[in-house]
Every structure is written in structure tokens, then in C-alpha cells.
Amino acid sequence: MELLKKLLKAGIVAITAAAVTLVVALFPGHRTYIQTAQASTATNFISQYKSDVQKASSKYNLYASVMMGQAALESGWGQSTLTTQANNFFGIKGAYNGQSVSMPTTEYNSNGQLENTTANFKKYPSAYASFADNGATLRNGTSWNTKYYSGTWKENASSYVDAANALTGKYATAPDYGGSIIKIIQTYGIDKLFGEAADSTSTSSSTTSASATSSSSSSSATSSSPVLTSVSYYRGSGDQTVPLAKKYQHYYVYNHVKGASKQEKRYSWKSLGVRSRVNVYLDMRGVKKGTAGNWYRIRFYPNTKAKRFWVYSDALSFSPIYSGTTDGTLVANKRTSGTIYSRVLGSSLLAKKVGKVSSLKQGTKYKVDKTALIHNSKSLGVWYHIASGKTKGWISNVNVLSAPASVAKVDFKGQKAISSAAKANYLYTDFNKAGQFTKHLKLAQVRLTIGSKVTVDKLGYRLSDKSIWYRITCPGSSDKYWVSSKFLS
């Protein structure tokens, strides 16, 4: 025992969860002493960094208990070498304001094998800087997905339990990562410390924290009902499809909108047999109270009785839709089995069926007030909004005999550059009713050269040859010209 006390005093044995396991194995008769030492270290850690955690978590609207619990887990209650030397409580790599430290670590190589290596980790000027940087990381996400950690945000997570579990598989790959954080929070009453205990009753999304909840079976968490999120629901037609996003595997699938039901369950895509990007059918949209993000009810088969699931919007890849005002008329093809929708089919707001094309009058010219282009994977889809008659709504160009114009024009804002493919090709002032050009000019005539930056305000789709055009404004001029998309980059 004297040897153990000397080791502890000298700092040779760090009081962390891993060290406790090792020391208890070596000195089985002194378990109480070790556990008391660990509790003391935890109490000191919580007391020392409470204000920093409160400040950082409030700044980014995150759960303070989760930030504290994660810092304790990652830093071994502040005893890790990385923490003592660099104020790095979360093991974040890189440099902070140019400052970093090199530390030995183990990582998987290209063959999937663990190997010893060294890496640069951020060095912070203070503990608060580390907590704030962690908050910024969770709030701002990654370079490829700013909402990557959105499951940890207070507006999306109904409790600290949901927020902690949202870190599993994202911040760390360990299957019990969220459960480990929850166990720390509940063991040391960190949720009560920050006034977040009321939300700790929601355990519906905790699939990896059975040990965490059992350790607090005598607390109010087992006797109160979960705090559920209020959701507003909007129905769609059910025949709209959308492909999964490239990063769909970074999101879970749920049987309800996350945080909205006591019977909530979550699934991985692989557990549902999905191993690649496929098209899914949408029939309902949900919006949590106090948030702007959308949730969608999906199914994998056209049969409307197929099992349905809920996913967050970032797991799906909606095509961009551009629209603009139109002055013209159309004649519908009554012989088609087409549908008239409340919105363009493919809209992230979901479209409802409002009528059949066959219900429109034969040969009647219907006034059109809007045109929309939806950018599908291979081409542009054209839609027109009927503004006259009993049935008002959007109709696809494939169900039209006579269109309002030969070129479907919509609003489009962007910057382009004249590409080398343009050479001396023509610019056009506009199109006539037949889709032919009214006047042309060469690049040199308007003082444009290869690489010149131009502003785009219109996108055009010529129906006759399915070609795409942009209306540009020349630098230093208010003159506008149409140019083929092939000649812009």
C-alpha cells in the first residue's frame, strides 16, 4: 500500500478509469482506496472546469453535461499527457492558431492494421479554448457537411442522452461511446449540476447505454416520462422519389422522428439491407418545434403499404429547382395519365396531387404564370404552373401539347467564366417565339475574352434540342446576352 501511495503521489500512476482497472488488479485488497482517489479526481475536475464548460456550451447551444462528460472521458479526468501539456481535452488533431504538439498514437494503416505513429495535436492556450473549440466543431461540422454533428445540438436533441448518443459513430467509432459519456454524467450527477437532469429522462434513443441507465435506477430517470419533441407533419403524394445522399451512411434511420416518441428505435442502413445509394419514396415531412430542419418518412418500395422509416434531410439528395415568372398559355395532352401537383414533383417541401391532366378541357389554353426547371441527374425537367381554370397547380412538360414558350426561362443567380471552348462563338440578345436567335455578336464585339468573369441572372432550356443557355451581363455594362452553357465554366 505504501508503494501504491508513493506511485500516486509521484504521478507515475494516473488516476483514470484504465489506471484504476490496472491498479486494482495489482492490489486487489485496496479497491476502496483507489475508487475514493478516482472520485476525488473527478470531483476536482468537475469543480475546476465547470464555469469554462458552461460558458462554451452556452455559446454553441450544446449540452454542458455532454461536453463535461466527453472531456472527462477523452482526457482521463484531465490526467492525460495531451491535456496536461497542451490543454487538449478532446484529443483533437491539427494546430490551434499555429500551435501544436507531437504525440505518439496508434492508427489504422491502409491495410487496416494498427500501427504506432506520431501525430500533431492542437495546443491550446487555456482549458476554455479547448472547450470552445470542441463546441465550434460540433456546431460547425466538417468541411464536407456542416450539419454532421447536428444531432448534438440542443434544438435537435431532446435530452443530453440523445446528444451523447449522437456522438457514437461520428466523433468516435466505439459502439458504446455515447453510453460511456452518459455513465459518467449520471454517476457524478453532472446533469443535475448544469440543470439538465429533467431532460435525462429521455432514453428512447440510447441503444448503447444500458449500463449507464442501470447505474441510476433509483433516480427520477426511471420514474418519469421522456420529454418528447413536438413535430408538425406535412403530407406528400407518396410517389415522389429522391436518391440517398453521398454521405447517407453517416445518419441513422428511425421508426419515428427522433425524439418524438417513447417507442423510438434507430437502425443502421446495413441492418435494413441498404448498402448503396438507392432511390427512396417520400410521403411525409416533419419539422420539430423550434427547428428549421426537415425529417422525411421514406419507404424502399413503390407499394404504399411497405414499411416506412424516418430520416433527417441530410441523408437525402434533393435536386435543385429554379423558377421564374411566365407570361403565356399551354394546351394539355388529355390522353396522358399525368398528374397535377401542388408543387414541382421533387420539391423538398413535398408535392400533393391536386388533379389529373385528363380532367382538363380538350384544346383549351390555360394561363401559365410560372415555369420551373428541376435539375435531374441526366437532364432538366420542365414544369409549368397553371393559373386559370378550376384546377390550379404544376404540370410536367411531358403532359403538354403546346408550351408557353419555345425556351423555358427561370431565374438563376451565379458567376461564370468564358471557357476556352467559346473561342469566337456568338452571343445572342434573345430568342424569338420559335426559339431562334434574334441577334448575334462575337465575343470581341462585347469585349469578352477567354476567362472573363460574367454574372448570370437567367437559365434557359430550349425545348427543341434540349440545350441549356445562360443569360449573362458583361463586366462594366448593363447589356445582357444569352450564351450556350458549353461556352461557360
Least confident range from 191-205, 225-239, 301-315, 446-460: namely 191-205
Confidence at residue 226, expressed as pLDDT on a 0 to 100 scale: 60
Same domain, 458 and 388: no
Q: Across residues 249-271, what is the average pLDDT?
A: 90
E-assigned strand segments in 304-365 = 309-312, 321-332, 339-341, 353-356
On whether the CB atoms of residues 266 and 254 are closer than 8 A, the answer is: yes
* In the chain, % of residues over pLDDT 90: 48
pLDDT by residue (tens digit) across 211-251? Answer: 333 333 333 333 345 678 898 999 999 999 999 999 999 99
pLDDT by residue (tens digit) across 281-324? Answer: 999 999 988 887 899 999 999 888 889 999 999 999 999 999 99
End-to-end Cα distance, the chain: 74
pLDDT at 111 over 80: no
Which of 315, 349, 376 lies at the terminal end of a domain, its last residue? 315
In a domain, 266, yes or no: yes
In a domain, 419, yes or no: yes
pLDDT at 408 over 60: yes
Burial status of residue 139 (CB atoms within 10 A of its CB: 0-12, 13-18, 19 or more): middle
Mean pLDDT of the chain: 81
Confidence at residue 225, expressed as pLDDT on a 0 to 100 scale: 52
On whether the CB atoms of residues 426 and 440 are closer than 8 A, the answer is: yes
On whether the CB atoms of residues 431 and 482 are closer than 8 A, the answer is: yes
Confidence at residue 115, expressed as pLDDT on a 0 to 100 scale: 66
Among residues 374, 369, 397, the alpha carbon closest in space to that of 463 is found at 397
Distance CA 255, CA 253 (A): 7
pLDDT at 207 over 90: no
Distance CA 84, CA 295 (A): 42
Same domain, 272 and 415: no
pLDDT at 33 over 70: no
On whether the CB atoms of residues 221 and 200 are closer than 8 A, the answer is: yes
On whether the CB atoms of residues 435 and 463 are closer than 8 A, the answer is: yes
Same domain, 420 and 378: no
Distance CA 294, CA 292 (A): 7
Which of 315, 346, 365 lies at the terminal end of a domain, its last residue? 315
Confidence at residue 280, expressed as pLDDT on a 0 to 100 scale: 95
Q: Across residues 463-487, what is the average pLDDT?
A: 86
On whether the CB atoms of residues 470 and 441 are closer than 8 A, the answer is: no
Same domain, 307 and 432: no
Same domain, 299 and 328: no
pLDDT at 414 over 60: yes
b vs e for 111-135, b when ≥16 Cβ sit within 10 Å of the residue's Cβ?
eeeeeeeeeebbbbeebbbbbbbbb
What's the angle, vertex CA 472, arms to CA 469 and CA 474, rounded to 5? 150
* In the chain, % of residues over pLDDT 70: 83
pLDDT at 28 over 60: no
Banded pLDDT at 131 (limits 50, 70, 90): very high
Distance CA 255, CA 311 (A): 9
Provide the residue range defining the domain that includes 374: 321-404
Banded pLDDT at 177 (limits 50, 70, 90): confident
Which of 371, 404, 437 lies at the terminal end of a domain, its last residue? 404
pLDDT by residue (tens digit) across 329-379? Answer: 999 998 888 999 999 999 999 999 999 999 998 899 999 999 999 987 667
Least confident range from 53-67, 159-173, 209-223, 258-272: namely 209-223
Same domain, 336 and 390: yes
pLDDT at 450 over 90: no
In a domain, 3, yes or no: no
Same domain, 268 and 133: no
Among residues 29, 157, 465, the alpha carbon closest in space to that of 484 is found at 465
In a domain, 129, yes or no: yes
Distance CA 480, CA 422 (A): 17
In a domain, 398, yes or no: yes
Instruction: Return the H-helix or E-strand segment holding 297.
Output: strand 294-299
Tell me which of 201 and 384 has the higher pLDDT.
Answer: 384
Same domain, 346 and 452: no
Q: C-alpha cell of 142?
A: 466538417
Least confident range from 103-117, 278-292, 370-384: namely 103-117
| Number of compact structural domains in the chain | 4
CATH number at residue 353: 2.30.30.170
Same domain, 303 and 330: no
Instruction: Return the H-helix or E-strand segment holding 42.
Output: helix 31-59
What's the angle, vertex CA 452, arms to CA 448 and CA 455, rounded to 5? 100
Confidence at residue 15, expressed as pLDDT on a 0 to 100 scale: 38
In a domain, 202, yes or no: no
Same domain, 78 and 98: yes
Same domain, 81 and 190: yes
Confidence at residue 171, expressed as pLDDT on a 0 to 100 scale: 85
Report the predicted TM-score, pTM, of the whole model to 2 decimal places.
Answer: 0.55
pLDDT by residue (tens digit) across 82-100? Answer: 999 999 999 899 999 999 9
Confidence at residue 426, expressed as pLDDT on a 0 to 100 scale: 77
In a domain, 328, yes or no: yes
Least confident range from 1-5, 138-142, 262-266, 385-389: namely 1-5
Confidence at residue 173, expressed as pLDDT on a 0 to 100 scale: 65
Same domain, 327 and 261: no
Confidence at residue 439, expressed as pLDDT on a 0 to 100 scale: 76
In a domain, 447, yes or no: yes
Say how many C-beta atoms besides its own lie within 10 A of residue 356's C-beta: 15
Confidence at residue 114, expressed as pLDDT on a 0 to 100 scale: 56
Distance CA 455, CA 476 (A): 11
